[in-house]
């Protein structure tokens, strides 16, 4: 019997997922918050962990980081209804073992779980193609002598910063939280070795990371 912990703040979605998975030789325990997940993991062990990405208070990315600091051996699958591409790089860095959409079929869910148990990862072809296009776009920037690279979400935020938008405006425009904007800005500043928005814009322009027309 494969034991799975599913963390999803939408009970109806969690129950539907549990019902599909338990048609196999698998048992699913559902909790609706990251704090509950961290508490239950202190006393119970699971074969696979499935985290929603957009959780309140502690999101799926941060939960993945915290859990892997305690136990890096249990595979973690990110289970989300959101576009995963902007978060792919940082989720990989956080040691996520796989990604599956909430619109996936039962067969796809089970395959993702069994692959994670074997140390394998299933990546949707659409995501693979987007990552490849993104990689080519970044490499095409000839002035980037530092070899600085940004994921799609960071590039989107950089462009909106260059257009003079506030963190709240960027969050509303990109349909993400202000916390996500702030986190990505911290990463951007670190990669560019700058301390302010104006320095980030100047350095990004100098390196050719964002085109001139994106600057105010």
Positive or negative, the CA dihedral 196, 198, 204, 210 is: positive
Mean pLDDT over each residue of the chain, to the nearest integer: 83
Summarize pLDDT for 100-120 with one digit per residue, the tens. 888 888 998 999 999 999 988
The percent of residues in the chain predicted with pLDDT above 90, rounded, is 40
Structure tokens at 166: 């506030």
The pLDDT of residue 128 is 65
The pLDDT of residue 140 is 40
- pLDDT of residue 147 exceeding 90: no
Summarize pLDDT for 30-70 with one digit per residue, the tens. 999 999 999 999 999 999 999 998 888 888 888 998 999 88
- pLDDT of residue 134 exceeding 60: no
Q: Which residues of 65-98 are buried (b: 16+ CB within 10 A; e: fewer)?
A: bebbeeeeebbbbbbbebbbbbbbbbbeebebbb
Whether domain 2-128 has CATH 3.40.50.2300: the reply is yes
Query: Which sequence spans correspond to the domains of the chain?
Result: 2-128, 152-207
Q: What is the mean pLDDT of residues 183-201?
A: 90
Q: What's the CA gap between 179 and 77, in Å, rounded?
A: 22
- pLDDT of residue 142 exceeding 50: no
Q: Band the pLDDT of 211: cuts 50, 70, 90.
A: low
The pLDDT of residue 37 is 95
- Candidates 3.30.465.10, 1.10.10.10, 3.90.1150.200, 3.30.420.40; CATH matching 152-207: 1.10.10.10
State how far Cα 60 lies from the chain centre. Answer: 8
């Amino acid at each position: 019997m494969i034991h799975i912990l599913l963390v999803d703040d939408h009970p109806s979605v969690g129950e539907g997922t549990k019902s599909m998975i338990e048609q196999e030789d698998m048992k699913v325990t559902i909790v609706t918050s990251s704090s509950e997940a961290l508490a239950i993991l202190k006393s119970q062990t699971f074969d696979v962990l499935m985290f929603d990405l957009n959780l309140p208070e502690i999101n799926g990315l941060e939960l993945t980081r915290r859990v892997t600091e305690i136990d890096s051996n249990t595979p973690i699958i990110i289970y989300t209804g959101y576009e995963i591409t902007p978060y792919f790089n940082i989720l990989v860095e956080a040691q996520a073992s796989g990604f599956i959409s909430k619109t996936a079929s039962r067969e796809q869910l089970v395959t993702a779980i069994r692959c994670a148990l074997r140390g394998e990862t299933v990546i949707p072809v659409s995501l693979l193609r987007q990552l490849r296009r993104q990689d080519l776009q970044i490499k095409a920037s000839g002035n980037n002598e530092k070899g600085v690279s940004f994921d799609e979400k960071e590039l989107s935020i950089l462009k909106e910063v260059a257009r003079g938008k506030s963190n709240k405006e960027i969050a509303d425009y990109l349909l993400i939280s202000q916390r996500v904007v702030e986190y990505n800005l911290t990463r951007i500043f670190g990669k560019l070795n700058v301390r302010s928005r104006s320095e980030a814009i100047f350095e990004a322009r100098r390196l050719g990371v964002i085109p001139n027309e994106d600057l105010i």
